[in-house]
Each structure stands twice: as structure tokens, then as C-alpha cells.
Chain A
Amino acid sequence: MAAGSALAKDDVVETVRRRWMFRHPLVIRFAHWINVVCLAILLMSGLQIFNAHPALYWGAASTFDTPFVAITDDQRDDGSARGVTYVAGKSFDTSGWLGLSTFNGEATGRAFPAWMTVPAHQDLATGRRWHFLFAWAFVINGLIYLIYGIGTGQLRRRLIPDGDQMRGFGSSIREHLTLHFPEGDEAKRYNVLQKLTYFVVVLILLPLMLVTGLSMSPGVNAVVPLPDLFGGRQSARTIHFIVTNLLVLFVIVHVLLVLASGVWNNMRSMLTGWYVIERRKLPAGPEKIR
């Protein structure tokens, strides 16, 4: 309802009708939150594993002198320690963050800092255990999601833009840039950028993580020559790392947009399933959707 006690004569009173919509079925909600836990632990244990050899290469084998990316520590001219990150031949001082960071109050040479890794201290064996356990959980959860999503048509509805949406591609970009999101009927479905992003994440990036991960397994390689898909095992490892970064970027944007487009409505719908559609109505004239 429009608020304010002192309405001027020419003020237009607008009513907002709230319509409840059941948006997220139980399976989707469970799959979402299990995925949150899996990806968090896979990321942190993955950084622990990366720290065991913090360099990336291209091809089948490692070219130790010429890594594509390397994170290490060395000494400045004055003898003080610094963290340094190499990317494609260029070096950056990343002290305190990458290469050299504080662990238990001491400056420690390690690629990713302790607060980002599971376990916090350097322990490759336990990091691998976390990684594989949650990789299995991630795969099983993902399979349930896909089977359910395909069977019920949810996947198509969520990930594939409708014909009219593709034509509205430009205006959807504008909406995102200005943080104005659709209301009314248009809010009942995901917008086109949302669908395309989820499509890329769900059907391309996440499966790529699994396949590049399996490409690093000498056992799996003897059954299916997966590394050949990516130009070799070390390339697969590099892609595994790059896609990790893309997924982190996705999560940051995803969370920011959840915050910007109505955090409680979004959170409620992902927890209980129920989403509120706002519909503004002017007293006279046709219903207006923004």
C-alpha cells in the first residue's frame, strides 16, 4: 500500500499486490544447498591440493622452467621475503595474499593462504580426502538434479530462454546494469541473462570441472583417454583451475544479484519454495508492469 499520511492532491496512489508463487521444488532446493556445501569444500580442499605444486602448465607434461602460472615466494633486493605470482611471464608482488601469508602469526611461504584451504595447514593427503569425498557428493547431487530437472521439465524451464526472451536480450542487459529487475508476470520466469548464465554454469562449467578432474586420474586415463580432449593432463589441470576461477566469479555475481533483487524474497524461495511476485496497480487504467 502507498504510505504517508499527507498525500498531496495530485499524488497517485499505487497499490502493490503480492502474489505467492511456488518457485523451487524440494529437490531443487536440496540440490542447491548441497551444492553450496560441496563447492565450498571442493574449492578450499582444491586450493590445498594446488598448494602442493603451485604452478600450471600446458600440454601433457610439466615444463618446470616455463609455467603458465606460478605462485611462489622469494626475496626482495633488501632481503625481505615477498610473495610473487607469475602469470604468462609477468610477475606480481602478491605478499600477504598469494605466495606469502601469515599463518599462526608467522609469515609463511605458501601459494594460497591458510584461511582459504582445507585443512588450514599444509596437508596434501587430507586435502585429497576432502576433495574426493565431496567430489562424489557433488556428482551424486548433480545427477539427481539433472535427472529430476529433465524428467519434470524444470531444467528446460530454468535454463533454456524462451523465443521471445532472446529478442529481449539487449533490454535484459540494461536491466542488469541498472539493477532494475522484472516484476509482475515477467518475474515468474528467469530472465534471459539468468537462464543463459545458469545454462553455462550447470551444463558446461560444472561438468567441465568433473571431466578435467577425472583427466588427472592415471587410472581413469587407462579406461578413457580424457586428457586428449584438453591437450594433455597438465592442460586439463590448468583448465580445472581456470574454471574454478570462473565458478568463483559466478558465485560472487550470483550473490550480489540475490542481494540486489530482493534478498529475503530470494532466500525464502530457495529455503521454502515460495516466491512473491509484486504487481503494481494504478487505480485507474490498465495494469502496468513497470
Chain B
Amino acid sequence: MKPRLRIPAPHRRGFLSAAAGLLGVSALGGCDRFAVTPTGRQTLRLGEDANLFVQRLLLTPASLAKEFPDSEISPWFKPNGTVDPQDRDYKSLAGQNFGNWKLRVDGLVETPQDLSLADLRALPARTQTTRHDCVEGWSAIGKWTGVPLAEVLKRAGLKPEARYIVFHCADTMEYSMSGESENANPGMTARAEGDENQASDSKAAGAEAPDADEPTGTPIRYYESIDLTDAYHPQTILAYDLNGKALPVSNGAPLRLRVERQLGYKQAKYVMRIEVRDSLKGIGEGGGGYWEDRGYEWYAGI
């Protein structure tokens, strides 16, 4: 007969462990409830704040995104987000092959600029074959040619208060329903300034009144922003060519931003106006970009 072995079961400890386990499971279920509280939102941001802090510590103007040989260019550069803007102003510009398109550069600058595609192509150019990393996880490699943003900013001349470069784009992402009633909500101030920007867009585009059958409300067009650190980086360019040909509409014609050390949603397409500002307040909800105002991080270095 086998000797029997008896170990007293520590029931209390067992109960405690089981309770701890249950607590753990319900804590995971509580993650989503925590995430929507103000404290939760603040806490969750800490990780991304640390990302920005550490990357700014490590990155110098000489830290370049990898440039690839032409042989690695993706056969198809996946267009994402807006691929065919339906905005009337944009469609009419595209119909004339952007011959009437002009890039407006204003805000905190000494000399506001209106630059045609021909003007931009006459400026010094940079070509770079880089990898585009979408926040969703995929990558595509393309060869971009364009004018360094620094060249354009140099011509406009920044005022000393300048801190951010904001890109206003032609493509409508959605319609805000507060268009008519001016005092409808606390976001009014932001909206009113948004309307101003949009009015300038329309002026730059030489637009007319919107069609009656267009959706009601104020169009929210894509917008993005970077700070001066990225604006003056040598690989930050306003690209007009992709893979040696004029940028196609699906990839952001006639001009898109390339800020190579950040994710895809920073690479604003259909750029109409560059506004130099001292803060991001008053642009959309203040997050600094369309996706930023919908929960994504302003600094998209990871």
C-alpha cells in the first residue's frame, strides 16, 4: 500500500486567491468604464505623453527616417481616409488640373504667400523614398518629391510668436450640425473660428455658395498640425509628385504634407492653406487635428 500524503488545504488563502482572481476579471471589465471618466482619460494619456517626451529627447534634426532604394517602392500606394473629395470647390480645381489652385500661407507670418503649383515647383526640391506607416498597422513605400516646408516658411518669414504650423485641407470629413444656431453649444467659439478658416479656404479656392442639395451643417474639413521642430526637419516636405508623377487625387493632389517621422494621419492630403499659429486653441476642438479631436494623439511618433 502506498503511504498517504496529507496536506491540510489552506482554505482561507484559497478563498482569498479566488477573490483576487475574480477582482482581476471584473477590473478588466471595468477598463472601459474607467477609460471614459476624466481621471481615466488623464491617466491613459500618460503613456503617450511619455512617448513624446522620450522621442523629443532622442530625436535630433539629423535623425532621418530611413530612405529606401527605388526597387522597394510599393507597386500600389494604398490611399486611405478621403480618396476622392466631393467638395465642389475641390472638384472644380481638379477639373482644371489644379491650374487655378494656390497654396495660401498666412497667420503669424511677415509676408503672406499665395503659391501656385508652378511657384512651388520652381522652389528647391527634395526627393525621398520613404515608408508610410498607417496608425492601423500597414505600411507602404513611396517616392515623394516636393518642396521642403522650411523653404516655404522662409519665404513667408515667421513672426517670433509662431509655434505651430496648421494645415487646412480641401476634403470634408463630416458635417457639423450646429451650422445655423450660433449660440447652440459651448463649442461655438471654436466653430466660429472654424468658419473663418473655411471662409479663407473658400476664398483661396475662388468658391461660390454651396449647392442647395449639399448636406446641411458646416463642413468639417481635414486639418492637421505640427510644431516647428518637425516643420524645419529636412525630410518635412510639401509633396507634389509621387513615384515621379504628379500626385494622384487618391493620394492627396495637388499637395500633401510628408512628415516622415510620424504616422500616416499626420500626412495631410489636399492641402489648401498653411496657417502659422502660436497655439492650437481655436482649431477644431483644440486637439490639433481632425483625428486628434477624435481621440488620437497629436504626436504620432509611435
Binding stretch for chain A, among B68-76, B97-105, B113-121, B201-209: B68-76
Q: Which listed residue, B137, B261, B291, touches A237 by the CB 8 Å rule?
A: B137
Contacts of B43 in A (CB 8 A): 133
Contacts of A250 in B (CB 8 A): none
Within 38-58 of B, Cβ neighbours of A (below 8 Å) are at 43-48, 50-51, 55, 58
Q: Which residue of A lies closest to B264 (CB)?
A: A218
Question: B68, A124: Cβ atoms under 8 Å?
Answer: no
Give the complex CA separation of A36 and B133 in angstroms: 30
Give the complex CA separation of A280 and B4 in angstroms: 11
Contacts of A216 in B (CB 8 A): 133, 137, 302
Question: B135, A52: Cβ atoms under 8 Å?
Answer: yes
Q: Beyond A52-B137, A135-B47, A222-B65, is A3–B4 a contact (Cβ under 8 Å)?
A: yes
Is B66 at the interface (CB under 8 A from chain A)? yes
Is A13 at the interface (CB under 8 A from chain B)? yes
Nearest-Cβ distance from residue A227 to partner chain B, whole angstroms: 8
In the assembled complex, 26 residue pairs joining A and B whose CB atoms fall closer than 8 Å, in A order, are A1-B6, A14-B3, A49-B137, A52-B137, A53-B138, A60-B68, A61-B74, A61-B140, A62-B138, A64-B138, A129-B44, A132-B51, A133-B43, A133-B48, A136-B47, A217-B55, A219-B58, A220-B301, A221-B66, A222-B261, A223-B59, A225-B66, A233-B133, A237-B137, A267-B14, A280-B3
Is B269 at the interface (CB under 8 A from chain A)? no
Query: Interface code B229-269, partner A: CB below 8 Å = 1, 0 otherwise?
Result: 00000000000000000000000000000001111000000
Across chains A and B, which 10 residue pairs bring their CB atoms closest together, nearest first? A219-B301, A133-B47, A132-B47, A125-B295, A14-B3, A217-B302, A53-B136, A129-B44, A62-B138, A53-B137
Q: Beyond A44-B28, A132-B51, A268-B13, is A64–B76 a contact (Cβ under 8 Å)?
A: yes
Question: A8, B1: Cβ atoms under 8 Å?
Answer: yes
Is B22 at the interface (CB under 8 A from chain A)? no
Question: A222, B28: Cβ atoms under 8 Å?
Answer: no
Within 37-83 of A, Cβ neighbours of B (below 8 Å) are at 37, 40-41, 44, 49-50, 52-53, 55, 57, 60-62, 64
Contacts of A219 in B (CB 8 A): 51, 55, 58-59, 261-262, 301-302
Q: Beyond A222-B261, A225-B66, is A136–B50 a contact (Cβ under 8 Å)?
A: yes
Binding stretch for chain B, among A100-108, A115-123, A147-155, A187-195: A115-123
Give the complex CA separation of A167 and B135 in angstroms: 49
Nearest-Cβ distance from residue B25 to partner chain A, whole angstroms: 10
Question: A119, B35: Cβ atoms under 8 Å?
Answer: yes
Count the A residues whose beta carbon is within 8 Å of the partner chain — how many?
63
Q: Beyond A133-B46, A220-B55, A233-B133, is A61–B139 a contact (Cβ under 8 Å)?
A: yes
Query: Interface code A6-34, partner B: CB below 8 Å = 1, 0 otherwise?
Result: 00100111101000000000000000000
Q: Which residue of A lies closest to B263 (CB)?
A: A218
Question: B262, A118: Cβ atoms under 8 Å?
Answer: no
Give the complex CA separation of A41 and B46 in angstroms: 15
Contacts of A60 in B (CB 8 A): 68, 72, 131, 139, 141
Question: A61, B136: Cβ atoms under 8 Å?
Answer: no
Q: Which listed residue, A125, A220, A225, touches B296 by the CB 8 Å rule?
A: A125
Give the complex CA separation of A94 and B189 in angstroms: 50
Give the complex CA separation of A135 and B28 in angstroms: 16
Q: Which residue of B lies closest to A233 (CB)?
A: B139
Give the complex CA separation of A135 and B7 in angstroms: 40
Give the complex CA separation of A278 and B6 in angstroms: 11
